[in-house]
Amino acid sequence: MSASSTPGHYRLTKAHKLSIAGVATLGAAALAFSLVPAGTETAQAQTFEVAPVAWTQSVQKHVGAQQAVADQKAKDAAKAEAEAQAKKDREAKEAASRSAARTPVFANNLDGWIKEALFIMKREGIPGTYAGIHRNIMRESSGNPRAINLWDINAKNGIPSKGLLQVIQPTFNTYHVKGTKFDLYDPVANIVAACNYAADRYGSMDNVNSAY
């Protein structure tokens, strides 16, 4: 650097000015860097870390809500099914009660057996009248529900005729009517099965006037 003509003063050259400007710029940059708030980098890192956590929590909350809805629907469906079954059971019980109330009580004798048989036959659509049934019973067994034929061809074949209307077991098995006892000697079951067979073969027990 060259001295100026004035003692104690120096003249700045262009190179000196550029050098000073560079130092000033670096100083400003350093100052700006030093003014960055402490922890900024950490805060930015935390932001990137918090974002996926918040997203995961949101998904979990959504899935949980869907599961709660599904559980409630399942509970509602189970409740509706239980209520429907309970209603069905009540209706069945009430129907059985009404049916029992409508069923008359029949005497445990020949008159009662015929009337009870006619009651069942009407329900099942089997034709026959009191007179026709009574006439055939008196001819076949004289009204004895335990009567058994041990001398005719059926007896010789090992299948004797039994009961009020002298029915053989194979015929009873075929023409037995549901709702009566599965017992050939039961008077009502015997009458109903015999009348069912007579209806199939002769049109009605009323049309039977001899061994059938």
What pLDDT digit, counting tens, does each position of 155-168 carry? Answer: 999 999 999 999 99
13-71: per-residue pLDDT in tens? 444 444 444 444 434 443 333 444 444 444 454 544 556 667 677 777 888 888 889 89
Question: 30: how many CB neighbours lie within 10 A of its CB?
Answer: 10
Question: 103: how many CB neighbours lie within 10 A of its CB?
Answer: 11
Contacts 24+ apart (CB under 8 A), 153-157: none
Dist. CA 152–CA 149, nearest whole Å: 7
74-97: per-residue pLDDT in tens? 999 999 999 999 998 888 888 766
- What local confidence, expressed as pLDDT, does residue 51 receive? 60
Confidence of residue 9 (pLDDT cuts 50, 70, 90): very low
- What local confidence, expressed as pLDDT, does residue 74 receive? 92
